[in-house]
Amino acid sequence: MSNSLSCFKAYDIRGRVPGVLNAPLARALGQAVVEILGAKSVVIGRDARLSGPELRDALALGLHEAGAQVTDIGMCGTEEIYYAAANQPFGAGVMITGSHNPADENGFKLVRGGAIPISGDSGLFALRDRVAAILAENGSAASAPAAPLHQASFRADYVAWLLQYSGAGKLAPVAGRKPLKIVADAGNGCAGLVLKDLMSSLPFEFVCRQMQPDGNFPDGVPNPLLPERRAATAAAVREAGADMGVAWDGDFDRCFFYDAEGNFIEGYYCIGLLAQELLRRVPGGKVVYDTRVYWNTRDVVLAAGGQPIMGKTGHAFMKERMRAEDAVYGGEMSAHHYFRDFAYCDSGMLPWMLVASLVHRSGKPLAELVAERMAAYPCSGEINRRVQDAPALMKLVRDKYAPTALYEDSLDGVNLEFAQWRFNLRMSNTEPLLRLNVESRADRALLEDKTAEILRLLEEMGGAVPA
């Protein structure tokens, strides 16, 4: 067993259990949360992973030893921790989750009281350094009695708020129209825990898949970006004759959409739909978008009378920028969606409820709602390549394309714009990967040509291979 601190990333903690992430580290983290953040009351929760209870017990012990009262809300989604930290007098919240990562991994997502995010820029590395010092002092400390835990649940209040804020709880059936049929795929993560409490208050028909949380993940890890998971949900949509499909990752802070034909809808285009909805509610509001693909978002926001603002990729960075700007909404193409009225946090429940409500009210299929924007700004989706020297390779790509670019910024990787196309090339914060995103102005052939061109360059210059 190792206590390597490589599990501390740019905006959360994640790693293989019990290698880089284990009970001694969790115990030290609990102590550090109290000492560094000054949190005297902490709410904790966990996803369905089998390592969750052991890490929960160790984390709670460290928190208790450092003088904090610990409230455990049990198995839940990350946004339930955000909700608790935002609406209850807790000094910090810690979610134990591996999200979409392999089953033998786990991690921690942390917020201050008020659900204020913690990133490498705002305290996470200070926590890392304190954890390192505690582990150096104590090593693999002997076991101790279990910490006292206060058990609580805020789910009923959270579900009521989702129904109210989304407006979905007030929707009525439409005469002469069948109810919207939705395939809901929780992937044996935690989304089913909340969905079962929502369904009875919604005028939709649900076809449910893998609703029971199961840390063995018998049908594979809940990651809708994996081709095999996408295919299974898409097939279920077609088989059910559903109007749309929704799938979640393990801690349901992201949701993913499928149209009635089972086609996967890139999260990018859902940003535009949600931006329009939020700007309808808050005219002239600010919308934060990430650096990867944004032409469509910027166009939609401006047309709706809003103010588009670029932010750095990553949930903690996005939340911090939204707070600084008082933005009404923020969206990442990776399907993270952030809401000012949800303490600027990301939610995997609000987006699908808002989109389903829009489909219900408009009577238009999901495919029709996004078709125009997909044609106007086709995109590659995020393409990952495993490389040996990411910084050097990024510089080579930048130096080749920058001389003819009309615009360049380096907020998050290499970001270059040309008259009819643009691309972003950035390093992963968690793996030795380069991530490429390309988009064009209404020219799919150009998009495909430039995407292939950059991928060939990465292979020829740096030996990049598909990840």
Find the radius of gyration of the CA atoms of the chain: 22
> Mean per-residue pLDDT for 320-345?
97
At residue 63's C-alpha, the angle toward residues 21 and 99, to 5°, is 40
Whether residue 81 is predicted with pLDDT greater than 60 in this model: the reply is: yes
Which of these, 278, 351, 350, 346, lies nearest to 317 by C-alpha position? 346
pLDDT for 146: 87
Contacts of 180 (CB under 8 A, 6+ apart): 203, 204, 205, 243, 244, 356, 359, 360
Least confident of 5-19, 128-142, 230-244, 316-330: 128-142
Q: Give the global pTM.
A: 0.95
At residue 446's C-alpha, the angle toward residues 444 and 449, to 5°, is 110
Span 5-153 CATH architecture: 3-Layer(aba) Sandwich (3.40)
Q: How confident is the model at residue 135 (pLDDT cuts 50, 70, 90)?
A: very high
Which residue among 99, 166, 357, 380 is the active-site one? 99
Q: How confident is the model at residue 1 (pLDDT cuts 50, 70, 90)?
A: very low
Least confident of 114-123, 137-146, 236-245: 137-146
pLDDT for 4: 67
Which of these, 125, 137, 213, 201, lies nearest to 163 by C-alpha position? 201
Active site residue 122: no
Whether residue 10 is predicted with pLDDT greater than 60 in this model: the reply is: yes
Span 157-265 CATH architecture: 3-Layer(aba) Sandwich (3.40)
> Mean per-residue pLDDT for 30-47?
98
**Between helices 52-65 and 23-37, what is the axis angle to 10°?**
40
Is the CB of residue 304 less than 8 Å from the CB of residue 322? Answer: no
Q: Which pair of tokens denotes residue 27?
A: 């115990």
End-to-end CA distance of the chain: 27
Q: If you ran DSSP here, which 8-state letter would residue 135 be given? A: H
Is the CB of residue 349 less than 8 Å from the CB of residue 252? Answer: yes
Least confident of 48-57, 300-309, 350-359, 386-395: 386-395
> Mean per-residue pLDDT for 391-415?
96
Distances (CA, A) of 357 to 127, 149, 179, 196, 256: 41, 39, 11, 18, 16
Residue 16's Cβ-side half-sphere holds a number of Cα atoms within 13 Å equal to 5
CATH number of 267-346: 3.40.120.10
CA 319 vs. chain centroid, Å, equals 12
pLDDT for 138: 84
Whether residue 106 is predicted with pLDDT greater than 80 in this model: the reply is: yes
CATH number of 383-466: 3.30.310.50
Whether residue 131 is predicted with pLDDT greater than 90 in this model: the reply is: yes
Distance, CA of 429 to CA of 187 (rounded, Å): 25
Instruction: Name the strand (E) or helix (H) holding 420.
Output: none
Q: How confident is the model at residue 462 (pLDDT cuts 50, 70, 90)?
A: confident
Q: Which pair of tokens denotes residue 289?
A: 């978008």
Q: Where in the chain is the domain with CATH 3.30.310.50?
A: 383-466
Average pLDDT, the chain: 95
Q: Where in the chain is the domain with CATH 3.40.120.10?
A: 5-153, 157-265, 267-346
Is the CB of residue 7 less than 8 Å from the CB of residue 15? Answer: yes
Whether residue 2 is predicted with pLDDT greater than 80 in this model: the reply is: no
Is the CB of residue 255 less than 8 Å from the CB of residue 198? Answer: no
Percent of residues, the chain, with pLDDT higher than 90: 91
User: Over the stretch 165-215, which tens digit does the pLDDT of each residue have?
Assistant: 999 999 999 999 999 999 999 999 999 999 999 999 999 999 999 999 999
